Amino acid sequence: MAQHPILCVPETLDPSLLLALSQAGYRLEQCASDAIGDAPTELLAALVSGRGGLGDALEACRAIRAQGAGSVPIVLLVNQVDVAHLADLDDLIDDFAILPSSGAELLVRLRRATGGQDASGDSTIVSYGPLKINTETYQAVIADRTLDLTYMEYELLTFLASNPTKVFTRETLLSRVWGYEYYGGARTVDVHIRRLRAKLGEEHASLIETVRSVGYRLGQPSWGERTA
């Protein structure tokens, strides 16, 4: 099974980090920060270094998001002095590490950012409770029942399940799952959540929780104690 690569930007990334990633079994694809347009769009994650300046790195992140890889997890490497500028960038990046960063730290952050997927053979299964999604075959199963999902429903469910218990605003979901150019407006998210709940069925509909006046999350920290 061909695993999607990690996009490493820019190609001058610290060779010791690249070595750590490839030794852990990840496929790597290197790319200059101004050539994102030529990079593959099917990615496991992206690793972007801001060593040469935060501005260029963020441009590269936006370029990755813009070219249809909206839901790809991005881990940003930043200089200590730039950390304060990351406050409002939840839509753009999933995690960051401060330079200089160790290979071990980076592996942990990548595992977290990709929803627990590692470089091994199980990387195509995203699961949470009774829900299992095979990202290779695009099939989602709830308690042994295969769900008949449309593409966007599948993308939304996979995104939420890859980041369980984390709350996302509608805007974040819209930009991460649909891409910025989407037509339907922010209410689209509510509509799709309602559709997903309908398809999950009464018993499992509460797997996706509404967090009042914030957004949505899949599962919750104390999952299992609550009745819908």
Partner 1 sequence: MQQNDYVLRTVEERGIGFIQLWFTDVLGTPKAFHITPQELEGALEEGMTFDGSAIDGFSRVQEADVLARPDASTFQILPYVGSGAEIARVFCDISNLDGSPFEGCPRHTLRRVAGHAKEKGYTFYVAPEIEYFYFANLDPSTPPVPLDRGGYFDLSPGDRASDLRRRSVQVLEEMGIPVEHSQHEDAPSQHEVDLRYTDVLTMADTVMTARLVLKALATEAGLVASFMPKPMANVQGSGMHTHCSLWTGEENAFADPNNDAGLSPTGRAFIAGLLTHAPELTAVTNQWVNSYKRLVPGHEAPVSIGWARANRGALVRVPVVKAGKLQSTRLEYRAPDSACNPYLSFAMILAAGLKGIEAGYELDPEMVGASGARGPLPSNLNDAVDALEASALAHETLGTHVVEWFVRNKRAEWGAYKSEITQFELDRYLPVL
In degrees rounded to 5, what are phi and psi of residue 213?
A: 55, 15
Give the residue with the Cβ less far from partner 1, 34 or 42.
42
Q: How far is the CB of 199 from partner 1 (least distance, A)?
A: 5
Give the residue with the Cβ less far from partner 1, 39 or 97.
39
Give the residue with the Cβ less far from partner 1, 114 or 188.
188
Q: Which residues bind partner 1 (CB under 8 A)?
A: 41-42, 68, 137-139, 146, 148-154, 170, 183-188, 191, 194-199, 201
Q: How far is the CB of 71 from partner 1 (least distance, A)?
A: 10
Q: How far is the CB of 170 from partner 1 (least distance, A)?
A: 7
Q: How far is the CB of 226 from partner 1 (least distance, A)?
A: 22
DSSP string of 175-197, one letter each residue: IIII-TT-SS-THHHHHHHHHHH
Sign (positive/negative) of CA torsion 88, 104, 27, 78?
A: positive
Give the residue with the Cβ less far from partner 1, 90 or 105.
90
CA distance 41 to 68: 7
In the chain, at which residue ranges do the beta strands (DSSP E only) sit?
A: 6-9, 28-30, 45-49, 74-78, 95-98, 125-128, 131-134, 139-142, 145-146, 168-169, 208-211, 215-218
44 contacts 3 by C-beta, under 8 angstroms: yes
Give the residue with the Cβ less far from partner 1, 106 or 149.
149
Q: How far is the CB of 54 from partner 1 (least distance, A)?
A: 28
| The two three-digit tokens of residue 48, written as one number | 């972007």
